[in-house]
Structure 1
Amino acid sequence: MKATYDLPCNIAQTLNIIGDRWTLLVVHEILIGNTTFNEIKNNLEGISSNLLSDRLKYLESCGLIATSLYSHHPPRYQYTLTESGRDLEDVFNAIILWGRSHLEKCYKKLIHQKCNHEVNITYYCPHCKENVDDVSVAEVDI
C-alpha cells in the first residue's frame, strides 16, 4: 500500500497502515477468531479474494499479523495477530463505544462480564497509579 499521508502525526501515520478500506475489518475478523482465508472472506461480505489477499500480505509486511502454513497441498495459511495487531483491540473497543453513543443503529456494546453492565474507557497513569480525566496530547522529543 502506498502511504497516503506524509504528515508528522501519529494519527496520519497510523492511518497509512490501517486506514485502507477493509483493513480494520480484516484485523477484527482475526481478533475474534476467524483465522483462515475462507473464514475471513465468508464473514466480510463484499470483499474480493484479490483484495483480501492483498490486505493480508500488507498486514503481514507491517507486522500486524503472522502467517503459518497449515496445508501444503494446496497451500493454506492460518493468520494470527502479533502483539502489535492485538493492541488494536483497544481501538476497536473505542470505536464500539463511539458507535454506541453516536450511531442511529448500533449492533454491539462493551460490557463487564461479571455484572453484564456497559463499561467506559478510563485512562490510567502508571506513574501516579491513578485513573485520570485530565489527559492531553504532547509532542514527543525526537
Structure 2
Amino acid sequence: MIAVILFNLVAFKTNKTLTAKQIAHIFVFTISLQLSFDLYVDMKYLGYWYFSKEIDWAALPAHSILLPPVNMMFLNWYPFDRTRWVRTLFVFFWTIALLLYEVIALLPAPWGYFHYGWWSLGHSAFLDPILLFILLLYYKHFIKED
C-alpha cells in the first residue's frame, strides 16, 4: 500500500502535461493490459504472484492501481521533443528503475510482496522496454491531443 500511495501521490503532484481525460485513458489501458497479462502469467501459469499464489483481495491494488501512476509519470516526463538517442536513454533508465523496484518488491516481508515462480528478472528486463514502447504507441495514436 505504501508503493500505491507513493506512486499515485508523486504522479498526480508532478503531472504538468496530462489532462484528466488522458489520465483516465492511461489508467484504463494499463489496468486492462496488466490484468490480461496477469491472468495468464500470474494466475494460470504461476510465473509470479503477489502476496500468495491464490487469488486474494490483498493483491487487488497491485493488479489495478500500482502501475497506472508509474505509466502516468513515464508519459508526463517522456522527452517527446528530444532526439531519438535521448528518448532511448530515457526508456533505458526507466527500465533500470522498474527493475530496481521489482528487486525491492522481491524482498522478504514487510517490504516485499512479489514472488517469482518460473519468472525472473531477465524476463522483466526483456519485457519492460517492450511494454513501455507499447504504452508510447498507444499514447501517440489514441491519447495524445495535438
TM-score range, shorter chain: under 0.3
Larger fraction in helix:
2
TM-score of the aligned structures, taking structure 1 as reference length: 0.24
- Highest relative contact order (Cα 8 Å, sep 6+), 1 or 2? 2
Larger radius of gyration: 1
TM-score of the aligned structures, taking structure 2 as reference length: 0.24
